[in-house]
Amino acid sequence: MADLNIEIYGSQVLRQKAEPVQNIDAKVKKIIQDMYDTLHEKSGLGLAANQVGILRRLVVLNNPNINEDMALINPEWKEVDTEKETGEEGCLSVPGIYSKVNRFRKIQVTAQDVQGKQLDFLADGLLARIVQHEVDHLNGILFIDRLSPTRRLVLASKLSRINSNGDNG
Ligand SMILES: [Zn+2]
């Protein structure tokens, strides 16, 4: 069991854009397995490769609808309609901070699975939220970036305390 180190707010790798995966080779499969182990160890809902210091477009998550793990390779999504929904989010990379975030309620997701099979599915509610949160990570975006300026101001001192703890928590 390989439990990977989680990159914490302040780390540059969380602010960088991850590169597409070209070949789903043994190395990529090993990273995914290690990411699953880390997700379980930390009891997270989802984990993007940036969060373990790897700039590849890889996400693992637990599908809350069927309580089953899934890996999304090169995931993309688009909204099905304009309806948004507010829900509480936290992040393994931003420990101790929880806040309500507005996201699209229903999205269409495309990705490849670990066998290289093309996935194309509708997601709504919590699953849609997790996918949007994780794909944000692949683009260097954190959920706190999506909060209102007022809410960010409220969280500012907590955030600066995380930051001063250094690159790795
Ligand atoms: Zn996160």
CA neighbours closer than 13 Å in the CB half-sphere of residue 119: 20
Q: What is the mean pLDDT of residues 143-152?
A: 95
* Annotated binding-site ranges for Fe cation: 91, 133, 137
Q: What is the pLDDT of residue 165?
A: 61
Q: How far is the CA of 93 from the centre of ligand 1 (A)?
A: 6
- Given a cut of 90, is residue 164 above it in pLDDT? no
Residue 82 to residue 25: CA distance in whole angstroms: 37
What's the CA-to-centroid distance between 44 and ligand 1, angstroms? 9
Residue 71 tokens, joined: 């890996």
Of the pLDDT bands very low, low, confident and very high (cuts 50, 70, 90), residue 3 is confident
pLDDT in tens, 91-144: 999 999 999 999 999 999 999 999 999 999 999 999 999 999 999 999 999 999
pLDDT tens digit sequence for 12-42: 999 999 999 999 999 999 999 999 999 999 9
Catalytic, 134? Answer yes
For range 45-64, the mean pLDDT: 97
Q: Tell me 49's DSSP state.
A: G
Collapsed DSSP state (helix, strand, coil) of residue 41? helix
User: Taking Cα atoms as reference points, which of 91, 87, 69 lies closest to residue 125?
Assistant: 87
CATH of domain 12-164: 3.90.45.10
State the distance from the centre of ligand 1 to the C-alpha of 23, rounded, in angstroms.
25
Instruction: Output the CA–CA distances (angstroms, integers) from residue 85 to 18, 101, 103, 108, 165, in the order listed.
Output: 27, 8, 6, 16, 33
Q: Which of 166, 17, 49, 141 is nearest to 89 (CA)?
A: 141
Q: What pLDDT shows up at residue 1?
A: 62
Is 167 buried (19+), middle (13-18) or exposed (0-12) by CB count in 10 A? middle
Distance CA 17, CA 95 (A): 21
pLDDT at residue 169, rounded to an integer: 41
